[in-house]
Amino acid sequence: MADNEATVTEEEPKVLTDLEKVGEPAVPRKKPKDVHGDELTGSIKVPKVEENVANHKPYLCKPVTMEKLGFPADLREDWHDAAIAKMADLLKKYKSLQVYMDICVKCGSCTDKCHYFIGTQDGNNMPVARAELFRKVYRRYFTTEGKILGKLAGAERFDLDLLGEWYSYFHQCSQCRRCSVFCPYGIDTAEISMAAREIMDHIGVGQKYTNDIIAKVHDVGNNLGMNPKALKATLESTEEDLEEETGQKIRLPLDEVGAEVLMVTPSADFFASPHVESLLGYAKVFHQAGISWTFSSAASEAGNFGMFIGNYSHMQKLASRVNDAIREIKPRRLVVGECGHAWRVAYSFWNTIIGPFDTLDPKYKRPQHICEFTLDLVKNGGIKLDKSQNDHLVPTMHDSCNVARGARMGDKPGGQFTIPRELIKASCNRYVDMDQDTIMEKTFCCGGGGGLLTDDLLELRVQGAMPRMQAFSKVQETHGANFIALICAICKAQFTKILPKYGVSMEVAGGVHQLIANAIELGAKQ
């Protein structure tokens, strides 16, 4: 960015309000010493612990948006008591939170597992240390041990400084659940960071990126803020492109009542690159299989940032748009596009929060992932793939954290790993997996998940992507890998931005259905 100090006039120097103190990085950032930065060696090494080297904080949410979401516009006067009351409420509502507060023995198993710790070497980014920020408060107000022993038991009063640490470190967790895999009790830091963000929102401390987007979906229907008119124009323009490319009338239908399939996909698929390449893939698959389908302007977003802020009501309300669309379109099947956390919400939560889907055909999974849908067609001959179209590519699969550890595809455990890989192998002659410790259930987050995909956290995103970049650079070296196949809109946006910072072309990132789009044989079936 250009040096613009001279022309930008900051507001008068003034005393910070309490809220601004919480949102302001308090300690001057110290440059991490032996962080691997943008040097790719192909190996992931566990760094030494440093304190306060990653004091990143995202922008605070503006009052107008906070109010729109039903949260206080400013830090509440009684924020301390309100926070404790909210914590008590959540402890009663979530078994996960109650149990995980009590049972951590601090064995240290998770300490070297978080990509943000490996990338920043900040001690508070070790999952147990992050959770301890929450437990300090829990112990002080909810346990006999903490009330009597205080700091000796790791209990602390919830003050403004600690709230500032909460704001920083619970926004350096992408809720990817990798730590949980290695925890002897399955303690899930995602649950704790969701609860922390829920408490912060309730006392008036919100994060701009996530909350702006939730408000936008309530207002307009999708994360991008693309209204139905713009959506229609965009789909029509994309149809023109498809016809130019293939010579065939391949449709991208919108709001067509009575379509067989209602397709719900992240709005980024309509808008951004490389997301849109997967959109072309979906369209070609439906076209060639001869199955009628439609998008819906009511449910023009698969993503659900309500999960990121741990707010049940918002998550449910955002998801209820899918029900609106089902009532309107009356489809027999419901299919979800390439989006990681969306698939977790759709697969694991939809049935509970907006189900049951009684009007949908029970012969098919409700809902179905686009990879399940396409692989079925590949297997039953509904579509044919010409692998040679992808001969210029050596793909590798980056398992999205939310799909890998929070959801499933197909009927067997682990289908979320095998089904996308089968699809890639069906559309490409070559394929290579990255190190076993970095894929499938042990996959590393891309570094931009959980509501952190914002430019005010760019430095953190680059650092957090490091483990994945190391693993990729290894297969790049050994097998000439030149394509990272993705099934998540956040991963796609993150890698497109981050790859160049590590000296890798952004073209390397793309969707699984981008490969399908390349390989699918269009035209009359034999």
Partner 1 sequence: MAIFVIGVLFKVWKYAMTPAPLKIPQTPAPVGAGGVPVRVLSEVVIFKSLFKSNRVLWLAGYLFHAGLLLALLKHFRFFFPAVPAGFGYLDTLEFYPGLIMLAGLGLLFLMRLVVDRHMFISVMTDYFLLLLLIAIATTGTFAKHFFRVDITQVKEFMMGLIAFKPVDMPTQVMFIIHFSLVLLLLAYFPFSKLMHAAGLFFSPTRNQVDNPREKRLVTPWAVEKPEAIPVAEEAMEAST
Partner 2 sequence: MSFELNGKTYETDDDGYLVNLDEWTEDVGAHIAEMEGVEMTEAHWEVVNFLRGYYEEYNIAPAIKILIKEMKKMFGPEKGNSAYLYDLYPAGPALQACKIAGLPKPTGCV
Q: Which does residue 7 bind out of partner 2, partner 1, none, counting CB within 5 to 8 angstroms by kind?
A: partner 2
Write out the binding residues for partner 1, residues 312-371 only, by CB under 8 A.
Answer: 312-314, 316-317, 320, 347-349, 351-353, 355-356, 365-367
Give min distance, CB of 12 to partner 2, in A: 12
Six-digit token pair at 181?
A: 């895999």
Query: Which is nearer to partner 2, 386 or 455 (by Cβ)?
Result: 455
287 binds partner 1 (CB under 8 A): no
131 binds partner 2 (CB under 8 A): no
Per-residue contact flags (x/-) with partner 2 for residues 301 to 320, judged by CB under 8 A: --x-----------------
Give min distance, CB of 455 to partner 2, in A: 7
449 binds partner 1 (CB under 8 A): no
Hey, what amino acid is at 251? Answer: R
Q: Is 201 helix (H, G, I), strand (E, B) or coil?
A: helix
Q: How far out from the chain centre does Cα 122 lie?
A: 22
CA-nearest of 284, 289, 292 to 250 is: 284
Give min distance, CB of 462 to partner 1, in A: 23
Per-residue contact flags (x/-) with partner 1 for residues 367 to 406, judged by CB under 8 A: x------------------------------------xxx
Segment interacting with partner 1 (CB under 8 A) among 35-43, 98-106, 387-395, 457-465: 98-106
193 exposure class (CB count in 10 Å sphere: 0-12, 13-18, 19+):
buried
Angle at 390 between CA 386 and CA 391, to 5 degrees: 105
Q: Which of 35, 196, 215, 377 binds partner 1 (CB under 8 A)?
A: 215
CA-nearest of 299, 297, 315 to 307 is: 315
Write out the binding residues for partner 1, residues 460-479 only, by CB under 8 A.
Answer: none
276 binds partner 2 (CB under 8 A): yes
If you write DSSP's letter for every residue of 111-173 in order, what string do you get?
Answer: TTT-HHHHHH-BGGGSHHHHHHHHHHHHHHHH-HHHHHHGGGGT-----HHHHHHHHHHTTS-
Task: List residues bridging with 369 in a β-sheet.
Answer: 336
Write out the binding residues for partner 2, residues 317-346 only, by CB under 8 A.
Answer: 339
Q: Which does residue 116 bind out of partner 1, partner 2, none, counting CB within 5 to 8 angstroms by kind?
A: none
Instruction: Give the C-alpha distances (Å, rounded to integers) separating 514 from 133, 281, 492, 517, 525.
Output: 42, 6, 12, 5, 22
Could you tell me if residue 335 is left (phi over 0), alpha (psi between -120 and 50 degrees) or otherwise beta?
beta
Q: Which residues contact 458 (CB under 8 A, 6 or more apart)?
A: 497
454 binds partner 2 (CB under 8 A): yes
Diameter of the chain measured on Cα atoms: 78
Query: Which is nearer to partner 2, 97 or 407 (by Cβ)?
Result: 407
Give min distance, CB of 311 to partner 1, in A: 10
Give min distance, CB of 167 to partner 1, in A: 21
230 binds partner 2 (CB under 8 A): yes
Task: List residues bridging with 122 in a β-sheet.
Answer: 50
Segment interacting with partner 1 (CB under 8 A) among 65-73, 283-291, 490-498, 506-514: 65-73
20 binds partner 1 (CB under 8 A): no
Query: Which is nearer to partner 2, 297 or 473 (by Cβ)?
Result: 297
497 binds partner 1 (CB under 8 A): no
Q: Which does residue 154 bind out of partner 2, partner 1, none, counting CB within 5 to 8 angstroms by kind?
A: partner 1
Q: What are the helix (H) ranges across 354-414?
A: 370-379, 401-406
Q: How far apart are CA 394 and CA 413, in angstroms?
A: 27
Q: Which does residue 158 bind out of partner 1, partner 2, none, counting CB within 5 to 8 angstroms by kind?
A: none
Q: Which contacts of 94-97 are long-range, i.e. CB under 8 A and separated by 24 or more positions? A: 94/191, 94/195, 96/188, 96/191, 97/191, 97/192, 97/195
411 binds partner 1 (CB under 8 A): yes
Is residue 73 within 8 Å of residue 204, measured between CB atoms? yes
Six-digit token pair at 430?
A: 């070559």
Q: Is the peptide bond before 58 cis (omega within 30 degrees of 0)?
A: no
Six-digit token pair at 76?
A: 């509440």
Query: Which is nearer to partner 1, 129 or 469 (by Cβ)?
Result: 129
Query: Which is nearer to partner 1, 4 or 144 (by Cβ)?
Result: 144
Query: Which is nearer to partner 2, 2 or 15 (by Cβ)?
Result: 2
Six-digit token pair at 512?
A: 């699984």
Q: Which of 18, 112, 256, 459 binds partner 1 (CB under 8 A)?
A: 112
180 binds partner 1 (CB under 8 A): yes
Write out the binding residues for partner 1, residues 127-146 only, by CB under 8 A.
Answer: 128-129, 132, 143-145
Binding residues for partner 2 (CB under 8 A): 1-2, 4, 7-11, 59, 208-209, 212-213, 216, 222-227, 229-230, 233-234, 237-238, 241, 266-268, 270-273, 275-276, 303, 339, 453-456, 489-490, 492-493, 497
